[in-house]
Each structure stands twice: as structure tokens, then as C-alpha cells.
Structure 1
């Protein structure tokens, strides 16, 4: 039998110290646990351990005479998880400490059991003082890297702390009801009848909200394609695109296919879902199949359409551009550990290339929606503004949503606005 905490420590070391994807690690590690309760604990430990790594990694280092990060990374990660259990998950002290010490044996590191016990007991004795030290530094107080805090303060000076705190909050579970299969109210009733706490979203017409994450594959209607998981901020894309039946539509950078499927749920359109990575393109097809939708899934580079385009223009184009993902940190906690300030210039250049390359594919009178899940102006306004300035036939359409604010030629939803993720949108029309 696998020790859940030992498994979590090994997995967290992969994510925090070796750069592995949190999502991939959970998908690979969770099947090693037979009990759903153990899998739920594993997920909680890994999500919170990654989210709060910058805070409790520093706390562990401060209590060790010699660092364990390099020589014993799994033991170091286990100590971080010990503090996570005490401070974030708020498990009973005796259970968290005893189970964490026991997990050292599950890691085949029994000689470190005494050290782990001593560090956790020391934390309990010195907790107030040590928390105060962590709170005195903004990086460890907010569990956010210094470069990103600086970027938030530069781009959103009045909102920076709120943005960072929103990244540490547990997001609600948002579902998108497949209106081709079932009405939203009818699906809500089926969830409530099954004992789920769910509610209609107040202004997103296809969205339902659940307060906590759960195993959606066990929900009624999953196998029959009645719904998909999609944050409300991402559901805005279909509203802005306004694709009517019969239109030719391109969803560029489409994986895993959430926005592709949402547009198809709204209207019978000729959809091309483009994705650079063949493995991720397979995910698009799997989602289309489950939701009983049809699209042409194409593997290709959005910045080089000559290799895949059939020469016929599109009336609608959605560019969900590759970005820093700084607006979805509450759902993708590893972004704060893996993303670097030096990445932004390359992303900005790629975004500009994709926008410029796909614009000629848009029919006169057509609409292009540029979207990112970034909060950084370098990836949003600084991409769209020079593009518009160089093209007299392009104009930005006004956007006004119940949450968020104007951001140059587009609209920015900040994380936590309406309990949504952070997203940027610009809607561009080709006038000739």
C-alpha cells in the first residue's frame, strides 16, 4: 500500500524542484492510490504545496542547519507538506505530525524520521514568531515570486496585492452546460437531486457554480456530454465571438478544446480547431467526442498558415494566444514556480506573429477575438495596440462586461473579479 504523504512528497519535489507540470504529475501519481479519499488528499497536498511553496520552503530552510533541497529533495518536500498540513489544511496537529514522520519510511529514508519530527515540533513551538518573519517579506507573505509582484505593481498598482492574494484562493468549480444536450435549469436540477451544491451563474448563460472541486467524472451527465469544466472567464469568449450558424470559424491555439466546444454548442458552424502539438490536438478530439460535437481538428503552427490553410477566409477567428498564464495561477499553481520574467518578451513576440499571420485569413466584415489568460500589459495591450496602429482596416470594438475594466483597446478581468480567473480580451473587426 502506498503512503499518500510519501507519494505527495516525491511528486511535489518533481514539481517544485525539477520543473515538472503539476497537472501531469497528479495525473500520473493519482492512479497509484486505490482509495478515492487518498487521491483527494494527494490532490489537496500537491495543489496547496505548490501554491504555498514559496512561503513554506523558506520556512523549512530557516529551521535547517544544512539544506536538504539538493541531497534529499523528497524529504525537504515532505517537511514543506508537514507545514502545509498544519497551516493550510489545518489537520489536527498530532495526526499531521505523526503521519508525516511515518511517511519518511515510505520514502525509504528512515534515518531522517527524527529530523522531520524535530522540525515539525520546533515549528509548533515557534509558530507565531516564524509566521511573523514570513509575513514581513512580501514574497513569502503572498507566496508570489518577486519578479511577478513587481510586474503586478507596474501594471496594476492599485490592485497588485489583491491580485496576488486572489492567486492563493481556492477557486470555485465552474461548469459549462452543453445546451445541445440539456437545458441549464434541467441540468442544475439533476445535480441537486444527486446531492451536489450548485447554482446558476448570475450573468453567464451557460455556467453553473459549485463551491468546491470534486470528481466531475462521477457527476450525472458526464459520460453523456451534458457539461464540461470551464472557468467563467473563459466562457466569455463565445459571447464575444458571436458566431452565427453557417459561419466559417477558426479557433487557433485551441487545445484542450473548451472554447471550440462552447462555440459549437452555441451554433452549427464550420469549425477548424488548430493546435500546434499533436498530443494536445488529441485532447480536443476527445472532448468533441464526449460532447457529441464535430469540428475539423488540424495540427499546425498558427503563425505559419501556409502549411495548413485551405485559402478560404473565416468570418470569425479566435486566438487564445500562448501566454504567461499569470491570470490563472489559482488553478495552475505551478505557474508561480516555473514562469520567469525572461519568458515574457518571447511570448509577446510569438503573440504578435500569430495575430499578424492570422489577420489576412479573416474575411472583410469579420471579427477576431484576441484572448490571453495573462495579466501583463506586455502580452495584451502592447500586442494589440501596435497591431491596430499598423492596419487602418482593423478597429477595436468596445467591450463592457459586468466585471473587469477597460485595458487599452480591450478588457481585462482580474483574478477574483466576480470570482473568475484573470483573462484579457480584445475584439477586432476587419472593416475592408
Structure 2
């Protein structure tokens, strides 16, 4: 079967109803489509289907007399995708409905094709009424789980609507020039000559912004390791770490290696990268190899550094495991899988890693604490609790051109400067 919408419905059902990641689903289904345009449509359908699932899943329930979610998960997902095509992708009504009905037949459910047609036609007739009902609740208005919408409103009351709106807008593609092998200006000139639209980030020294997603592996310079994909919020880590030639540096929880590579591009340092997951550690090595960089790679537990050789580090970058609530616009499936009950366990893990790494930091050294969360419990609360217990931990005040002052540290919220959500704190050992 090579019907794009049918494949998208199967993939989306796995993501939304069975807990699969969008990345894994795409890896399974995309190879079945030989045409790059069909693969691009598949990606758009799965991504926007996950992004807007909590809105249109509820809409489908309003439109059906009996739910299909359990008995016919792919057809239920197909109906969600039908509404996504009409309301989000804004495809022509006739084409969207007809193609979705045909997808039901491709899924070998011809008896349900009439139901799919009837449901989508009913939506078109009653659209205003249904949209009003969906807009009445934050969960279905913004397609966020109720617990997360409440948490965002609690932690960031003035910015909550803007944050959830930003989470539903596809982000720009951001790249990082590898200054070991080229300059940003040279890359931009090469791409301009090739007709590729791109521009420098306004305040990140290595950042490049592309207005539209593209296959970066086909861009000039990718195979030669002249650039990497990395959101601008993540690129700020290298500025805050402020590494110098000759320093001994640790990147804990390092996969997939973007920040480690950026540090190595900035200075001649002796870098150790630690990652708990052996499979994810392989991605670090792949990125190092492509960019022409070298680091000591260790598979180990950052909270229990039995792997440490006893020599202190001048800089430690701790990119803590977190809820990923700051990157929902880039990873829309997270909103379907993350649970409120996950947060206390993550806070405990973050606190344990921070406590485990602190003895490895040299006197006068700096530890940069990073999460891609926007929840204060994972950010300021963890750092404050640690500093309260350690008299030698001093939080350094700083600011970035985008974002908000935190206590302590700095919070970039999703959409600030068109960046992902990310929290930073810098602790100096005194």
C-alpha cells in the first residue's frame, strides 16, 4: 500500500494511541513512499496530526455516535487527519474529503468509507458550532493536555496563551556554522548562489535561520561537516559555558551531541561526553565524526560518576533529562505522551545528577544547568534547592537578548525570538 493518507493514519494511530514516537513511526512508514513529495506530505500529516490531536480527537467524538478509537484506531486517526487537512493544512475541501475517503478504502475498510465521508461532510455543515465548543476549553483550544495547560498558566500566567499558541506553529529551521571548517558568511554566500534562502541569527554568533524546512543532507556543505542542525536556544549553551583553550570540560547527558560539538568548535578543549544510553551515545560519535571533532566518549551514569578519573573540570555542561515541555512545537508527540506524574521523578533525577556532578567541578569553575522545560519545578526550584544545600554554589546573574529573568537563571519560552523553550542557570564554585 502506498496511499499517503492511509499510511499517515496508521502512523498517527501508533503515535497517539500506542505511545510510539513520531520519529519511529516515520522511519517505519516513510520508506514505503518512493516520491519525496509524498514523504513530505506524510511528515506534515503525522506532525500536524500529533500537534492537533487533542483538539480534533475531541471533535471526532462529537461527530460520531459510537467511538471507533478502540476497534478501528486507524480509521479514527484518519478522521482526525481529515479535520487537520481541512482546518490546519487548509487543503481544498473536495480534495481533502475525497482523498480521505479513498484512504479508508486503501486501509481495506470499504464499509467505513461512507462513514468517513459522512463525518467530514457533517463537520463542514456544523463547523462553526463545533469550533466554538472546542475553543471553550484551553485543552481543546490549544491542543494541550489539561494538566500542562494548567501548569503553564500557573508558572507563566502572563505568557500562557502566547506559549501555547507558539507551540502550535511550525518552527523555522535553525543551523549552526562549524567555525572549525568555515564561516557563517561563507556558508550563506554558498547557499545564496545555490538559491537557498537563509540568514544570520540576530544575536547568536554561529546561528543561521532558514524560513522553511528542507532536507539538510542535500544542502551544500552538509557532507563536509560545515554545519549542523541546532535550535538557537540550544546554541546559547556555548556562550554561557564560555570555554577557553586548554580547559578540561565535561558534557553530561550529552546525546545527541549538539552542544558538545558546539563547545569543541569554540575552543581547543579536552572534552569528555557522558551519556547513559549506549544507543544514543552512538549518535554523539556520528556527529563528532561528520563535523571533524574529537572527544572522550563515556557510556555512564552522570549521577554516579564512578567513571571519573579524579581530575576536576573547569566547565561542566549539564543538559538534564526533563519533560521536554519547551520543545512541543518541534516534538509535538511529547504532549501526547508526557504525564503530570512524570515530573516528580524527573525532578529527583535532575537533583541527583546535579549533586553527583558538583564534586567534579574545579574551584572557580562553572556548571551550566540546562533543560528544555518551561516548568519551574524542573528549573529554578531544582537549582535553588541545590544552592541552599551547598554553600560553595553561587548562581551567576546573566541575561540573554530573548527570554525572561528567572530566580535564578534565565528562561526562554517557546516563541521568544522564534526559539524553542529552554532554561539556563550558571553555578560557580566558590
1:421 is aligned to 420
2:277 is aligned to 277
Q: CA deviation at 1:311?
A: 1.4
Answering whether residue 89 of structure 2 is matched by residue 89 of structure 1, we say: yes
Residue aligned with 1:228, SS:
strand
Q: CA deviation at 1:422?
A: 0.6
2:148 is aligned to 148
The 5-angstrom pairing of residues 72-83 of structure 1 reads: 72-83=72-83
Once structures 1 and 2 are overlaid, which stretch shifts more, 125-134 or 141-150? 125-134
1:117 is aligned to 117
Once structures 1 and 2 are overlaid, which stretch shifts more, 4-13 or 402-411? 402-411
1:107 is aligned to 107
CA offset digits 1:368-419 (Å, max 9, x no partner): 0000000011001110001111111110111111111111111111111111
Q: CA deviation at 1:142?
A: 0.8
Residue aligned with 2:185, SS:
helix
Segments of 4+ in structure 1 off by > 6 A? Answer: none
Q: CA deviation at 1:131?
A: 1.1
Distance in 1 between the 2:136 and 2:408 partners?
38
CA offset digits 1:188-216 (Å, max 9, x no partner): 11111111111111100000101111111
Q: CA deviation at 1:99?
A: 0.8
The 5-angstrom pairing of residues 297-308 of structure 1 reads: 297-306=297-306, 308=307
Answering whether residue 23 of structure 2 is matched by residue 20 of structure 1, we say: no
Distance in 2 between the 1:397 and 1:27 partners?
43
Q: CA deviation at 1:133?
A: 1.3
Residue aligned with 1:400, SS:
coil
CA offset digits 1:324-375 (Å, max 9, x no partner): 0010000010111100110100000000000000000001111100000000
Residue aligned with 1:245, SS:
coil
1:370 is aligned to 369
Q: CA deviation at 1:27?
A: 2.4
Q: CA deviation at 1:73?
A: 0.2
Q: CA deviation at 1:31?
A: 1.7
1:402 is aligned to 401
1:295 is aligned to 295
Distance in 1 between the 2:31 and 2:286 partners?
20
Residue aligned with 1:251, SS:
strand
- C-alpha RMSD of matched pairs (Å): 0.8
Distance in 1 between the 2:273 and 2:24 partners?
23
1:30 is aligned to 30
Residue aligned with 1:305, SS:
coil
Distance in 1 between the 2:159 and 2:84 partners?
27
Q: CA deviation at 1:266?
A: 0.7
2:49 is aligned to 49
Answering whether residue 391 of structure 2 is matched by residue 387 of structure 1, we say: no
2:335 is aligned to 336
Q: CA deviation at 1:285?
A: 0.4
Alignment size in residue pairs:
430
Residue aligned with 1:185, SS:
helix
Residue aligned with 1:254, SS:
coil
Distance in 2 between the 1:213 and 1:375 partners?
25
1:261 is aligned to 261
1:208 is aligned to 208
List gaps (5 residues or longer) in structure 2.
none
Distance in 1 between the 2:138 and 2:405 partners?
28
Q: CA deviation at 1:29?
A: 1.9
Distance in 1 between the 2:398 and 2:110 partners?
59
Once structures 1 and 2 are overlaid, which stretch shifts more, 106-115 or 67-76? 106-115
2:317 is aligned to 318
Distance in 2 between the 1:399 and 1:415 partners?
19
Distance in 1 between the 2:11 and 2:40 partners?
14
Distance in 2 between the 1:4 and 1:414 partners?
34
1:183 is aligned to 183
Distance in 2 between the 1:242 and 1:110 partners?
62
Residue aligned with 1:12, SS:
helix
In the superposition, the TM-score normalised over structure 2's length comes to 0.99
Once structures 1 and 2 are overlaid, which stretch shifts more, 10-19 or 265-274? 265-274
Q: CA deviation at 1:310?
A: 1.4
Q: CA deviation at 1:109?
A: 1.3
Q: CA deviation at 1:242?
A: 0.7
Distance in 1 between the 2:180 and 2:384 partners?
37
Distance in 1 between the 2:409 and 2:305 partners?
25
Residue aligned with 1:268, SS:
coil
Distance in 2 between the 1:71 and 1:425 partners?
45
Distance in 2 between the 1:405 and 1:140 partners?
27
2:6 is aligned to 6
Q: CA deviation at 1:28?
A: 2.5
